[in-house]
Structure 1
Amino acid sequence: MSHKYSGGCAHIHTHADHDPIDNHTCHCSVCKGVTGQDTTHVVFFKHGDVAVDNEAGLKRQPFNANNPDGPLELCICADCGAPIMLDDKQSRIRVIVPNLMGYDDQIAPAPYHAFYDPASGVPKPSDGRPVYEALRPDFEWPAPS
């Protein structure tokens, strides 16, 4: 069966049949540190909208090393080490980084910039997309699933 969105690795497959609830270019220091990218295309799905075919094969670790008790866990494949998703311990969202988690160009480009910090010294993005110091103002966290 084909799915609207799918990714993962050879050992663990993920998919979603519903559209993301948020899609942004992230400028936060945690994403920079974890991905090694200057900015990261980040997509939030409702937790229950991303299915994982082999959750037992996931190795979980804190997403933010400076906040190990925070809500997000980086899930990687225990066999090959591929990043699979970020999982929210509160069961609100699952996060996909398309270019690192097998989704590539299945998801539309990010319509805005999030977590831009003017104090970082990095020039403010000037590509015409809105730039925020957090998530877009109308974003609402979903209820846990």
Structure 2
Amino acid sequence: MMSKYAGGCAHVHVTTDAEPIDNHECHCNVCKAVTGQHTTHVAFFNHGDVKVDHPEKIKRVPFNAQNPNGPLEICLCTDCGAVLMLDDKVGRIRVAVPNVMGYDDAAFPKATYHAFWDETKGYPAPQDGRPVFGGLRPEFVWPAGH
């Protein structure tokens, strides 16, 4: 049976049948630095909803170089170096960046809003009709961790 969303690489498969609990276009400086993209489509899933078939083949590095002890880690394949997912050390979420992590980006639902936009970015606020917030959407509630 095929999973609804499948990413990763030839060595490590990352899958879920769940829908994202948050799905946004990110404007944060960390995503810009990590991906090299102006904005990044980011999907949060409940941690337990995302499965990894070979966790022993994952190398973990800090997501935010300015906060290396922060909760998010970039997971890389030890065989090929592919970016697999972001994992939360606290066990709340796992994060997919569809166009970077081996997913079919077209199969993902479109991001529902813009997150972490601020006027100091030096470009106009998005005008595509989706809400624009300075952080995550106000009604987002972090899931419980372990």
TM-score bin (small chain): over 0.9
Superposed displacement of residue 136, structure 1? 0.5
Aligned match of 1:99:
99
Q: Residue type matched to 2:111 in 1?
A: A
Of 100-109 and 13-22, the range deviating more from structure 2: 100-109
**Percent identity of equivalent pairs:** 63
Which segments of 5 or more consecutive residues in structure 2 lack a partner in the other structure?
Answer: none
| Aligned-CA RMSD value | 0.8
In the TM superposition, 1:84-123 aligns within 5 A as 84-103=84-103, 104-123=105-124
AA aligned to 1:134 is G
Show the 5 A alignment for 1:127-138: 127-138=128-139
**Structure 1 residue 126: Cα displacement:** 0.7
In the TM superposition, what whole-angstrom CA distance separates every residue of 1:13-54 from its partner, at most 9, and x where no partner exists?
011011110000000000000000000000000000000000
Gaps in structure 1 of 5+ consecutive residues:
none
Match of 1:55 in 2: 55
Alignment of 1:46 onto 2:41? no
Rounded Cα–Cα distance in structure 1 between residues aligned with 2:74 and 2:107: 21
Provide the TM-score with structure 1 as the length reference. 0.98
CA distance in 2, matches of 1:52, 1:105: 22
Q: Match of 2:15?
A: 15
SS class of match (2:32): helix
The CA deviation string for residues 77-98 of structure 1, in whole angstroms up to 9 with x for no partner, is 1111110000000000000000
TM-score normalized with structure 2 length: 0.97
Would you say how many aligned residue pairs link Structure 1 and Structure 2?
Answer: 145
